Amino acid sequence: MKSFERRKRRPGEFATIRAEMKRRNCLMRRYRLVILVASVLTVGTADTSAGLLRHTFAVVLQDMRGAVQAQSNSEPAKAGGDSAPGAQAPAQKDDDGITLRRRVDVINPYRVQFRDVTSEAGIHFHHERAASPQKLYLETMGPGVAWIDYNNDGYLDAFFVNSGLTPFFHPDSAPQPALYRNNRDGTFTDVTAESKIRTDGTFFFGVAVADYDNDGFPDIYMTGYRHSVLLHNNRDGTFTDVTAKAGVGDDGAWATAAGWFDYDHDGKLDLLVTNYVQYDEDHPELCGEEPTGHRDYCHPDKFKGSAAKLYHNNGDGTFTDVTEKAGLTNTDGKSLAVVLADLDGDGWPDIFIANDTQRNFLYLNNGDGTFRDATRKANVGFSEDGRAEAGMSADAADVMNNGLLYLFVSHLDFELNRLYRNNGDGTFTDFTIASGVGQTNILNSSFGARFFDFDNDGWRDLLVINGHILDDIPLHHPEVTYEEEKTLYRNMGEARFVDVTRTEGKDFRAKHVGRGLAVGDYDNDGWQDFLVSNNGEDAQLFRNEGGSSPEAKGNHWLAVKLIGVTSNRDGIGAAIRVRAGDFSSYDQVKGGMSYCSAQDPRVFFGLGAHDRVDTLIVRWPSGYVQEMKDVPADTVVQVTEGVGAKALKYPAPHPR
Binding residues for Ca ion, rule: CB under 5 A, are 211, 213, 215, 217, 219, 233, 262, 264, 266, 268, 270, 453, 455, 457, 459, 461, 521, 523, 525, 527, 529
Query: 339 or 462: whose CB is closer to Ca ion?
Result: 462
Query: 303 or 604: whose CB is closer to Ca ion?
Result: 604
DSSP 203-222: -EEEEEEE-TT-SSS-EEEE
Going by C-alpha positions, the residue among 461, 458, 411, 455 that lies closest to residue 436 is 461
Smallest gap from Cβ 459 to Ca ion, in A, equals 4
Query: 135 or 602: whose CB is closer to Ca ion?
Result: 602
DSSP 372-427: EE-HHHHT-SS-TTS------EEEEE-SSSSS--EEEEE--TTS--EEEEE-SSS-
Alpha-carbon span 646 to 585, nearest angstrom: 20
Burial of 115 (0-12, 13-18, 19+ CB in 10 A): middle
- Within 8 A by CB and 6+ apart from 528, the residues are 452, 453, 454, 519, 520, 521, 544, 600, 604
Alpha-carbon span 486 to 464, nearest angstrom: 6
- Within 8 A by CB and 6+ apart from 632, the residues are 611, 612, 613, 647
- Distinct helix (H) and strand (E) counts, the chain: 10, 39
Smallest gap from Cβ 101 to Ca ion, in A, equals 20
Amino acid at 419: L
Smallest gap from Cβ 414 to Ca ion, in A, equals 29
Length of the chain: 656
Smallest gap from Cβ 502 to Ca ion, in A, equals 17
Smallest gap from Cβ 501 to Ca ion, in A, equals 15
Smallest gap from Cβ 617 to Ca ion, in A, equals 22
Smallest gap from Cβ 522 to Ca ion, in A, equals 6
Smallest gap from Cβ 603 to Ca ion, in A, equals 15
Phi, psi angle pair for 645, to nearest 5°: -130, 150
Smallest gap from Cβ 349 to Ca ion, in A, equals 10
DSSP 582-646: TEEEEEE--EE-BTT-B--SSEEEEEET--EEEEEEEE-TTS-EEEEEEEESSEEEEEETTTEEE
Terminus-to-terminus CA distance in the chain, angstroms? 84
Query: 116 or 332: whose CB is closer to Ca ion?
Result: 116
Query: 109 or 345: whose CB is closer to Ca ion?
Result: 109
Smallest gap from Cβ 85 to Ca ion, in A, equals 29
Strands (E), 253-411: 255-261, 270-275, 287-289, 294-296, 309-313, 319-321, 335-341, 350-355, 361-365, 371-373, 393-397, 406-410
How many C-beta neighbours within 10 Å does residue 17 have?
11
Alpha-carbon span 643 to 342, nearest angstrom: 25
Alpha-carbon span 217 to 480, nearest angstrom: 44
Amino acid at 563: I
Query: 36 or 609: whose CB is closer to Ca ion?
Result: 609
CB 396 within 8 A of CB 421: no
Phi, psi angle pair for 365, to nearest 5°: -80, 125
Alpha-carbon span 310 to 323, nearest angstrom: 5
CB 518 within 8 A of CB 598: yes
The tally of CA atoms less than 13 A away on the side-chain side of residue 379 is 16
Pairing of strands 556-563, 635-640: parallel
Going by C-alpha positions, the residue among 113, 191, 1 that lies closest to residue 547 is 113
- Per the DSSP assignment, residues forming a β-bridge with 410 are 393
Query: 266 or 281: whose CB is closer to Ca ion?
Result: 266
What element of type H or E holds 529?
Answer: strand 529-534
Smallest gap from Cβ 177 to Ca ion, in A, equals 18
Alpha-carbon span 480 to 477, nearest angstrom: 6
How many C-beta neighbours within 10 Å does residue 55 have?
17
Smallest gap from Cβ 219 to Ca ion, in A, equals 4
Query: 135 or 610: whose CB is closer to Ca ion?
Result: 610
Smallest gap from Cβ 197 to Ca ion, in A, equals 15
- Within 8 A by CB and 6+ apart from 652, the residues are none
Smallest gap from Cβ 56 to Ca ion, in A, equals 17
Smallest gap from Cβ 457 to Ca ion, in A, equals 4
Query: 296 or 461: whose CB is closer to Ca ion?
Result: 461
Smallest gap from Cβ 417 to Ca ion, in A, equals 18
